[in-house]
Chains A and B, each alone.
Chain A
């Protein structure tokens, strides 16, 4: 029995088993299945990462033909990244779902979708036949849809789910188009046909083909302006699903782009500049909108867009490096992108899990209502802090490492490149720097308002620290975050193999060594920094040992009875920033008028909205709806009419060739007269 059939049989078996066990065991069944499938797929991925690629061909019937299953280093890396998050996701989800134990059927569907989603993703990473690829891609899209709409009795959940489903299918449409394009010229469904096809056509044509694939994968990954599904789908899904979606599912898009870059032969310069520009816009736009969000999960969702932007900058840089024949640049770019893929999947899933815990403890995700959680949930809060520091790219955490690689590449590119290339790279540095600053603004807000200070709102329930089973997966991720931050050189070695796929024309021996030397210094600096912090704390302890320590209310300029409502709010915290970027935003403000000398209760509401979404999605959609509305009379619900439509259609089909013939006849006639 080979590996592929093992995975399929295990999944089918456990899906059946899931329906039979009681609610308490469903999570465990999913956990075991995910673990087993994870181990099996990792057993292919680990050797692939060391250079032993897996290659097998399945026979898929007359239509599909040969299905090559290839696990190269790129697939291997993504499989490992995915497995970690999927496992922590189910570890956490098993606990998270205990709140819904009364919904037995729903739970079964949820966990089954979870397992199937995992398997579909493994399939996406391995299968290199476009037909089969589309099938597993569809399977992934639909199972993710089922995961999102777990709370389907809520109207907004359903809306977000359907929004996601439609956008996924636009993505599939572009994919199908790209594959058919290649197939119609080569007659093959194998991915290698893309290479064969693009090496025979002009660079402009292969760029157009690349564009087609890029749009498809960009929808999945959430590049601006294809990001609009993300901020809806993430907040409504259960926390572990949001974590997995943000950590893993959108990375399928990144994988797709990387895979296509590996396959397409074309002008890497153009592709690189294109990706760089889109990515910088994505990063800046994503974090800009994240800052003004007041729903914790929505804020995190916008941050995913930002991080996709950072990964994209890495990929773009890598392509520019390939175009410039500069292996250092290419290595820094691709390695940075791949490491950031891992890093983002870690800290983003951690942050989403914490958001889920906060939600279950307080029953709200509105930042303005929270506050002071650090005293009631110290461990959860500290874990959020770790995630927040990591996502801001601060040392000694993992986010810094990948951003450092990308920065090094950018600076190297600036110092060696031409005027043309620097004029792209300098704005990227600018973008990356300002993304970092804005992320800091955003997460000081999120952490400061949600966890620090005092409760801003009377919460209905008693808030307690989450139990150990819920904390355990988070600690696991937190540990990984710190390990990568402190030992980056090890992880750079791990991505050397996948990166070398892109750089196979070059002899890749110096760059990895050079980078691991630099990163050794980074790791030393990070360790030194931690030691210094400890020394400072120790000194403080020794010095203040005999000093008098008092506890008193916060200084409020002499005001003796400050109430929690006088605290700074999230809205005021970002107000100066919001004012600054106002032209780029869309703030829907609802404000009552002040009436009379002694005005009564007043209400003021602000809802930030995505300006790009309004112009690129909502506006065309409105026009489309208006246009299609004109044909509403056709849809009248009368069976007679539908039969009539059928008859008309058949008549039309039959008449069409006759009509064409008639026209051809007339044209020939005119030609003859003209003679």
Chain B
């Protein structure tokens, strides 16, 4: 049954961006496209031909596939409730973070491969933001390692149960951190506006300006997968052990749904930050993680 999480995440990824877009269109009073429109777009891209830049080399051609594979393998590591991921070992979240970083490394250099100044700009920002977000994730996982005494996704999540009021606060903060990390990793509001039409203010979109056809489809679908993956991580906070699958699957779906709507709401009501305010905002995540860490110390009574 270890494949359960993979199946669930893949299913969630099919709906995720659709729900986000649907929420946005309802909130802005538009009719908006159907829930499956993003998937249809991707499907259309898969069947299209491609245009490659004269400047680009083989890096540009292999990068999207490697990026996609990195997201997939990261999903393999995610547990759902009682079921560990396909791969699960002590310290798997280190592998998780680093394999995602590998995908990002390739996307960054593929952006630079085109020789476009716009792509380079996006690449530079992406590299900076991911470097700032990285410590937050590790400190978050460190706090949970401290709380539970384990160091793998599966063990941490199955040992995690909330008792005191502080632990609820910690869980809430952790969910916030993960939501924001997901937004940063997927280059959504308020860090980056995926719908902007000005190259100078783009981050992720400008990196993939030159990608087309199958490659672009892969990159777009990887974004969906990443959303569903972070949604699954958040869902795991609420899947305490002992639940049977007929409880955990609805909870999982519910959390994904709420997450998608939250993203939609954030994107409808928030404006994008000025570019030079982004680092502060992202670095704030690390301080929240440190708060979580202190909270955990409080729970364990290591500081009084």
A contact residues vs B (CB 8 Å cutoff):
371-372, 374-375, 378, 385, 389, 392-395, 400, 403-404, 407-408, 410-412, 414-416, 418-419, 422, 426, 429-430, 432-434, 436-438, 440-441, 443-445, 447-449, 452-454, 517-518, 521-522, 524-525, 528-529, 532-533, 535-537, 540, 543-544, 547-557, 562, 564, 566-568, 572-577, 579-580
Contacts and interface: CB of A to CB of B under 8 A. Distances in A.
> 8 shortest A-B CB distances, which residue pairs?
A568-B120, A437-B131, A448-B112, A548-B49, A521-B89, A453-B115, A536-B65, A532-B69
Contact of B53 (A394, A408, A537, A554): A554
Nearest to A449: B112
Interface string B85-127: 0011111101101110110110011001111111111011101
28 contacts: A392-B105, A404-B91, A410-B142, A415-B146, A415-B151, A422-B146, A422-B297, A426-B139, A429-B139, A430-B135, A437-B134, A444-B127, A452-B59, A521-B87, A524-B87, A537-B65, A540-B65, A540-B215, A547-B49, A551-B53, A552-B54, A554-B115, A557-B199, A567-B116, A568-B116, A568-B123, A568-B124, A573-B127
A532 B76 CA distance: 11
A425 B142 CA distance: 10
B146 A573 contact: no
B142 A411 contact: yes
B57 interface: yes
Nearest to A407: B94
A192 B51 CA distance: 69
B199 to A, nearest CB: 6
A375 B57 contact: yes
Given A433-B135, A453-B55, A529-B70, A568 B149 contact: no
B151 A441 contact: no
Nearest to A443: B105
Chain B CB within 10 Å, residue with most, of A410, A536, A579: A536
Indicate the member of B66, B77, B104, B128 with the most A CB atoms within 10 Å. Answer: B128
A414 B150 CA distance: 10
A280 to B, nearest CB: 12
Contacts of A573: 120, 123-124, 127
A445 to B, nearest CB: 8
Contact of B214 (A375, A419, A426, A540): A540
Nearest to B77: A525
B125 A411 contact: no
Given A419-B297, A554-B55, A444 B68 contact: no
Contacts of B215: 540
A525 B49 contact: no
A444 B102 CA distance: 11
Given A444-B127, A452-B109, 9 more contacts: A395-B102, A407-B94, A434-B135, A440-B108, A441-B131, A536-B68, A551-B53, A553-B54, A568-B123
A552 B290 CA distance: 49
Given A430-B135, A430-B139, A550 B121 contact: no
B101 A436 contact: yes
Contacts of A532: 69, 72-73
Nearest to A374: B57
User: Size range of the interface on B?
Assistant: 35 or more
A442 to B, nearest CB: 9
B151 A408 contact: yes
Given A573-B124, A576-B128, A564 B115 contact: yes
Contacts of A374: 57-59, 113
A573 B220 CA distance: 25
B268 interface: no
Contacts of B279: 576, 580
Contacts of B98: 393-395, 400, 403-404, 436
Contact of A547 (B58, B112, B135, B213): B213
SS class of chain A's interface: helix, strand, loop or mixed?
Answer: helix
A415, A422, A547: which has the most chain B beta carbons within 10 Å? A415
Interface of B: 46-59, 62, 65-66, 68-70, 72-73, 76-77, 87-92, 94-95, 97-99, 101-102, 104-105, 108-109, 112-121, 123-125, 127-128, 130-132, 134-135, 137-139, 141-142, 145-146, 148-151, 199, 209-210, 213-215, 218, 275-276, 279, 286, 290, 293, 297, 302-303
A532 B57 CA distance: 22
A394 B101 contact: yes
Nearest to B212: A550
Contact of A528 (B52, B87, B131): B87
A75 B135 CA distance: 35
B142 A426 contact: yes
Contacts of A375: 57
B97 to A, nearest CB: 8
B116 A554 contact: yes
A555 B209 contact: yes
Given A434-B134, A533-B65, A549-B52, A447 B145 contact: no
B145 A395 contact: no
A96 to B, nearest CB: 26
A544 B213 contact: yes
Given A414-B145, A551-B52, A576-B128, A528 B94 contact: no
Given A395-B102, A554-B55, A572-B121, A452 B141 contact: no
A581 to B, nearest CB: 10
Contact of B54 (A419, A528, A533, A554): A554
Contacts of A549: 49-52
A415 B149 contact: yes
B120 A577 contact: no
B131 A408 contact: no
Contact of B127 (A418, A441, A567): A441
A415 B73 contact: no
B138 A430 contact: yes
Contacts of B286: 430
B53 A552 contact: yes
A375 B120 CA distance: 19
A572 B124 contact: yes
A445 B112 CA distance: 9
Nearest to A514: B90
Given A395-B102, A536-B66, A448 B145 contact: no
A535 to B, nearest CB: 8
Of A372, A554, A572, most buried by chain B (CB within 10 Å of CB) is: A554
Given A550-B49, A566-B117, A444 B141 contact: no
B125 A576 contact: yes
A545 to B, nearest CB: 11
A555 B138 CA distance: 37
Contacts of B105: 389, 392, 394, 440, 443-444
A419 B214 CA distance: 51
Contact of B302 (A418, A443, A529, A555): A418
Contacts of B123: 444, 448, 568, 573
Given A408-B91, A528-B76, A553-B53, A453 B112 contact: yes
Given A426-B293, A429-B139, A543 B124 contact: no
Contact of A440 (B118, B121, B130): B130
Nearest to B124: A573
A522 B89 contact: yes
A99 B164 CA distance: 72
Contact of B142 (A403, A429, A438, A444): A429
Contacts of B142: 410-411, 414, 426, 429
A372 B53 CA distance: 13
A134 to B, nearest CB: 42
Contacts of B48: 547
B139 A437 contact: no
A288 to B, nearest CB: 11
A579 B97 CA distance: 26
A393 B102 CA distance: 9
Contacts of B89: 517-518, 521-522, 525
Given A437-B131, A452-B109, A568-B112, A529 B73 contact: yes
